[in-house]
Amino acid sequence: MINRKFCVAPMLDWTDRHCRYFLRLISQHAVLYTEMLTTGAIIHGDSDYHLQMDAFEHPVALQLGGSNPQDLATACKMAAQYDYAEINLNCGCPSDRVQNGMFGAVMMKDAQITADCVAAMRDAVDLPITVKHRIGVDDYDSYEFLRDFVGTVAQSGCEVFLVHARKAWLKGLSPKQNREIPELNYATVYQLKKDFPQLDIIINGGVTTLEQSLEHLQHLDGVMVGREAYTNPYLLATVDQNIYGSTAPIKSRMEIAEEFLNYVDNELSKNTKLNAMTRHILGLFHGMPGARQFRRHISENAFKPSANIGVLTTALEKTSGAIA
């Protein structure tokens, strides 16, 4: 049983396996999501490269992008071999590339196709199939439209909806602008829970603090945090205690960094590039003395062909010296 009270959002080019391992060092209980993977990448590409993960990352949900029920079912079967806790269908991404593939936020315009996709995914694997979507898309932005979308998809057996509390504009706005310009409307998501009390409704969009998370949890089943969890990952340091009731001690930033060093050392022995890992930890000392020196040393050195673990240890020495 997955406890989705606190989730870290799927973020393209960010939430890869190295990022998830790092975040898992900070929180043992938060549910982590992969970056969106298309059915084509899994079926026709290097599926093991895309789907592999360390057992330490669990629980992890895989997010798929696609609109062909058969392809989604095939991708689900392939993914089921990798011990994911959940498979999530992306119905919220507004990028042009995704629109051209007829998936992402554009799928909200045809709830029945989305429901057919969910049904095929559920038939293919014995895993929770969830849907991440917006509160509307283009001029389809009435509450009745949203309610009918969720109701139709729920009839296919989907019991968990992760709702980005902004509508998506598919024309004229970039994906970045779609994260900022359409107004957040938390009340709409709260109403959705009232109308579908039997469903799990997880809210996403604009959440940057644990205080905000706890407020949302008064109304909903879970909270999903995106960019803030990446740029300020120590936000997760007290999630286990404050949201999941854990009695485990809270780790310091330096303890987390030292544990990540062991992971980096092991991955370097497998010829993983240093900057593929260190790019995800630049925000660890966010707001702390020495944070700038830490980021600068890694940014200026981790990409070099000769880069080794010494780059990270030196960066940590600069930070600890500044803090001291």
H or E element: which one contains 19?
helix 17-26
C-alpha distances out from residue 111 to 92, 97, 164, 167, 290, Å: 13, 21, 17, 16, 50
pLDDT at site 176 = 65
Q: Which H or E element spans position 163?
A: strand 160-164
Contact 96, 55 (CB under 8 A): no
- For the cut 60, the answer to whether the pLDDT of residue 98 exceeds it is no
Which has the minimum average pLDDT: 52-56, 95-99, 112-116, 272-276? 95-99
Find, among 266, 270, 11, 3, the residue nearest to 164 by Cα: 11
What distance lies between CA 47 and its chain's CA centroid? 19
Helix axes 143-154, 186-195, angle to 10 degrees: 40
pLDDT band at residue 22, thresholds of 50, 70 and 90? very high
Which residue ranges make up each domain of the chain? Answer: 6-242, 253-323
Of residues 316, 240, 237, the one with CA closest to residue 282? 316
Rounded to an integer, the average pLDDT of 164-190 is 81
Q: What is the mean pLDDT of the chain?
A: 94
pLDDT reported for residue 102:
74
Which residue has better confidence, 170 or 21? Answer: 21
**Higher pLDDT pick, 56 / 180:** 56
Q: Nearest-CA neighbor of 93 among 170, 202, 13?
A: 170
Q: Residue 82: which of 61, 99, 101, 66 has the closest Cα?
A: 61
Where does the pLDDT of residue 99 fall: very low under 50, low under 70, confident under 90, or very high at 90 and above? low
pLDDT of residue 132: 98
Non-local CB neighbours of 252 within 8 Å, separated by 6+ positions:
none
What percent of the chain lies above the pLDDT cut of 90?
A: 88
CATH of domain 6-242: 3.20.20.70
Residue 105: pLDDT above 60?
Answer: yes
Looking at the structure, give the CATH architecture of the domain made up of residues 253-323. Answer: Up-down Bundle (1.20)
pLDDT band for position 1 (cuts 50, 70, 90): confident
Flag whether pLDDT at 170 surpasses 90.
Answer: no
Q: Which residues are part of the catalytic machinery?
A: 93
Q: What is the CA radius of gyration of the chain?
A: 20
